[in-house]
Amino acid sequence: MEHSMCKFRVTAPIYLAVALLAAGGASIGFAANASPDSTQAVQRAATGNVRHFVMRTNIADGRLVYEDEHGNVDPDLKVRLGDTVEISIASKEGAEHDITFPDLKVESKRFSGATGATTLQFVASRAGEFHYFCSVPGHREAGMEGKLIVTGAPASPIAAHRDASSGMGGVEPAAAAGGMDGHAMPMPAVYAPAEAAAQPADPNAVSVAGDPAAVPPPVGARAPETIKYRIETDEVTGKLDNGTSFTYWTFDKRVPGPMLRARVGDTVELTLANAATSKMTHSIDLHAVTGAMGGGADTQVAPGQQKTVTFKALHPGLYVYHCATPLVPEHIAAGMYGMILIEPAGGLPKVDKEYYVMQGELYTSQPFGAHVHQQVDMAKLSAERPEYYVFNGAVGSLTKTHELTADVGQTVRIYFGVGGPNKVSSFHVIGGVFDTVYEEGSLSEAKHDVQTTLVPPGAAAIVEMKMQYPGKYMLVDHALTRAGKGLVGVLEVQGSADPTIYHVGSAR
Ligand SMILES: [Cu+2]
């Protein structure tokens, strides 16, 4: 901050007079800080034409973008030095956005489908190329970035006059500008990207830990039919760990989202409803769907809206679903993944217990264990350096909040998947050997007697174990550093111990 202010004094003697005007009654940007004379001041600083741009946000080719009125994506905004730049901008797809010119210290207020269009206005009093982008975390990375190109020479002595003021050394630019014009100029706040101070954990954070026992009943031997599902996307302040909260984006307020279950040949009608309280667009791409980007393109749902797609389950197996709204890995890391099981004709062999477990990782600004409200760190997401690894959404989901249980003699089946978004799991149960593994979620072939099975992001495995000895069996990723970052679960098996299977001491 100190450094940037110094830099500002040396290099930017108020080249840019900024005023922001409200459109349609929406108050925006710096208007709240502007003096009643600010518009007047801008009029004096502006020496060129007023250049009006109508823009909107959209989702195009899997990216979040700005569009101009001709449909150009992330357009170059070309103006001449001294022009007044006026931008009217709206959220076409409904999610919350802004438009920020950090080099010029100009940013709009956040706007969404609910707020309607907003307008910002400023004078281009410095030549050059200046990036604009959306400062909502993840949106710039998802595609919302363009350039303002300011060309030409100063059209009046004002700029030269102001250049001369750069000799004022440590004088505050606002004071300098005010002195020159005899009016207080509206000084933009210093643009502060995501590096805001850590917020305290929210004491009202709710549990999003998915219950591993929340498995729909087996399909059995029935004929194909049409089944209907409705899932709601919700953005909730959830408990990531004791003393740590996080803003989760979820399917049905839990992580993973609900397990769906159908049989091959079924027609599945799926409605995705985005809660009115959401700030983001959300969607669903089911890996069990053939065509249409798994439903991802047709289910982009704005806050307060819903959309329905219908698909036929052509392939049996266990499939991941996830949100497919840019920036997709950001939505997945925030908790937007789940699984759909498509049973083969005749169903799966009967077992005593079925569980639903998914692994994911979180990229937070503060380190693992910090007692704060964790924010997403886009640089760590980009570098694939997570702070947390979790089963079912949160630290302790499968050790404290929920537990997997079985009795000696029972057969346990775990539907295991990796939401990721990035990390492969070496799924292992400490103390157990998988009697059967359906690798990669494929039911075409079973493997037997497996210690650890590899599950990539966006994939699944079905593992089965007949529990033959009591005790605590630990669910882990055998990349065991991750156990210290939250990734551990417990399967508690009760019953009598058979000493021929295991006992302490010498052979009898
Ligand atoms: Cu989403």
* Domains along the sequence of the chain with CATH: 50-151 (2.60.40.420), 226-350 (2.60.40.420), 358-494 (2.60.40.420)
pLDDT at 178 over 50: no
Is the bond leading into 256 cis (omega within 30 degrees of zero)? Answer: yes
Ligand-binding annotation for 323, yes or no, is: yes
pLDDT at 483 over 60: yes
Find the helix packing angle between 173-181 and 157-164, rounded to 10°. Answer: 130
Ligand-binding annotation for 183, yes or no, is: no
Average of per-residue pLDDT across 380-396: 98
User: Token pair for residue 338?
Assistant: 């789940």
Query: Can you give the pLDDT at residue 46?
Result: 67
* DSSP 3-state of 310: strand
CA distance 21 to 25: 9
Query: Can you give the pLDDT at residue 56?
Result: 95
Query: Can you give the pLDDT at residue 62?
Result: 82
CA distance 342 to 205: 34
CA distance 121 to 106: 9
Residue 253 CA, ligand 1 centroid: distance in Å: 12
Cβ within 8 Å of residue 395, ≥6 positions away = 240, 241, 242, 244, 388, 486
CA 468 from chain centre, in angstroms, equals: 42
Ligand-binding annotation for 287, yes or no, is: yes
Ligand-binding annotation for 331, yes or no, is: yes
CA distance 494 to 208: 28
Residue 53 CA, ligand 1 centroid: distance in Å: 29
pLDDT at 131 over 60: yes
Sign of CA dihedral 448, 452, 457, 462: positive
CA distance 265 to 118: 48
Query: Can you give the pLDDT at residue 125?
Result: 87
Residue 118 CA, ligand 1 centroid: distance in Å: 24
Confidence of residue 187 (pLDDT cuts 50, 70, 90): very low
Asked if 433 and 439 touch (Cβ cutoff 8 Å), the reply is no
pLDDT at 192 over 80: no
Query: Can you give the pLDDT at residue 17?
Result: 35
C-alpha gyration radius of the chain: 28
Residue 230 CA, ligand 1 centroid: distance in Å: 16
Residue 231 CA, ligand 1 centroid: distance in Å: 12
334: Cα within 13 Å, side-chain hemisphere = 29
CA distance 75 to 228: 42
The percentage of residues in the chain with a pLDDT greater than 70, rounded to a whole number, is: 82
Residue 365 CA, ligand 1 centroid: distance in Å: 20
Question: How does DSSP classify residue 147?
Answer: E
Distances in Å between the alpha carbon of 160 and those of 85, 104, 298? Answer: 20, 18, 54
pLDDT at 386 over 90: yes
User: Token pair for residue 499?
Assistant: 């000493």
CA distance 256 to 254: 6
One DSSP character per residue, 391-439 reads: ETTSTTIIIII--EEEETT-EEEEEEEEEESS--EEEEEET--EEEEEG
Mean pLDDT of the chain: 86
Residue 337 CA, ligand 1 centroid: distance in Å: 9
Residue 425 CA, ligand 1 centroid: distance in Å: 23
Average of per-residue pLDDT across 367-390: 97
CA 87 from chain centre, in angstroms, equals: 27
pLDDT in tens, 260-273: 999 999 999 999 99
Residue 457 CA, ligand 1 centroid: distance in Å: 17
CA distance 271 to 228: 8
Strand 50-60 to 84-91 pairing: parallel
Which residue, 280, 348, 319, is CA-closest to 416?
319
Residue 197 CA, ligand 1 centroid: distance in Å: 25
Residue 148 CA, ligand 1 centroid: distance in Å: 30
pLDDT at 34 over 60: no
Query: Can you give the pLDDT at residue 61?
Result: 82
pLDDT in tens, 57-110: 998 888 899 999 999 999 999 999 999 999 999 999 889 999 999 999 999 999
pLDDT in tens, 413-453: 999 999 999 999 999 999 999 999 999 999 999 999 999 99
Ligand-binding annotation for 373, yes or no, is: no
Helices (H) and strands (E) in the chain, counts: 6, 30
